[in-house]
Structure 1
Amino acid sequence: MPENKTKPTNVSVDAFLAKVEPEQRRADGRVLLDMMTRLTGEPPVLWGPSIIGFGSVHYRYESGREGDMCRIGFSPRKAQLVLYLAASLPGRDALLAKLGKHSLGKGCLYITKLAAVDLAVLEDLIAQSWAYKSAQA
């Protein structure tokens, strides 16, 4: 089986964020960094080249593929913020309905800018995702 390319690194999260463009994405990344650090109580770790993750979880698929990944995290990409939260979180749809402008991908939540969402709802979604994924670990 191929090895997972997304692994924790020793790269400084602050150094990574300092290079994020555009400037608004960098600022939103710092808000998410502070929020997730506070809510998880975990130090941020750069996973692969661009995911800021908190905690870790071992996974195993029915296919036999397995590996480790951050429990929750985000990536401040040029086009949008990508959040990696609990896709199967009970009550997730109700929270997303109150969140504001966003889109969903396969297991990802996409936000163009934090100003377009309700930060209290986002904080609740992050906290509940952390608790849910922690209970499964």
Structure 2
Amino acid sequence: MSYQQKTKETDHSVIEFIENVDNPKKREDAYKLIDIFAETTGYEAKMWGPSIIGFGSYHYKYESGHEGDAPLVGFSPRKAKISLYFAPGETKREELLKDFGKHTTGKGCVYINKVADIDINILKELITRSVEFLQKTYPNSKSSE
């Protein structure tokens, strides 16, 4: 049986998804983040799986032969926190996060409570570096439709 990728780009409406976010402050932040990510990457927001808003995409292939597509960067306004997705292998991430503002980190993501807690310029830098890193690492990526 082949591995089925859970998080695929879908045709679901990003706006509809955000409008269904319970917390009005989170909704507001989600719209702010869409503007920042879209402006920084030049890609439009697309839904990936049921809850990730992604920008651009790249095709990865691991040594194991496992391959798939993923957004270059993205975020998800989850109940507890907002998850920001950047390239995990990008080297300056730790350094940039020092001055990022209030956040916690997970394996591939950075969690924030609200946009007001973070430095937007550093967010833009993290987005730009992730996109550049992934496009260098996976040069066959399709940049955008």
Report TM bin, short chain: over 0.9
The aligned counterpart of 1:54 is 55
Q: Distance in 2 between matches of 1:67 and 1:124?
A: 26
Deviations 1:25-47 (A, max 9, x none): 11111111001111111111101
Q: Is 1:29 aligned to 2:24, yes or no?
A: no
Moved over 6 A (4+): none
Q: For residue 104 of structure 1, what is the amino acid of its counterpart?
A: T
Mapping 1:10-29, distance limit 5 Å = 10-29=11-30
TM-score, normalisation: structure 1: 0.93
Give the structure 1 partner of residue 141 of structure 2: none
Q: For 1:34-63, what per-residue CA distance to the aligned partner results, in whole angstroms no more than 9, with x for missing partners? A: 011111111111011011111111112222
1:109 is paired with a residue whose SS is: strand
Displacement, 1:135? Answer: 2.3
Residue of structure 1 equivalent to 2:84: 83
The residue type equivalent to 2:24 in the other structure is E
How does 1:1-137 map onto structure 2 within 5 Å? Answer: 1-137=2-138
**Greater per-residue helix proportion:** 1
CA distance in structure 2 between the partners assigned to 1:51 and 1:18 by the alignment: 14
CA distance in 2, matches of 1:130, 1:98: 20
Instruction: Tell me which residue corresponds to 2:142.
Output: none
- Per the normalisation by structure 2, the TM-score is 0.89
Shift of 1:125: 1.3
Provide the aligned length of Structure 1 versus Structure 2. Answer: 137
- 2:143 equivalent in structure 1: none
In the aligned structure 2, how far is the partner of 1:36 from the partner of 1:54? Answer: 7
CA distance in 2, matches of 1:5, 1:118: 31
CA RMSD, Structure 1 to Structure 2 (Å):
1.2
CA-CA distance at 1:5 after TM superposition: 1.6
CA–CA separation in structure 1 for the residues paired with 2:53 and 2:60: 18
Runs (5+) with no aligned partner, structure 2: 139-145
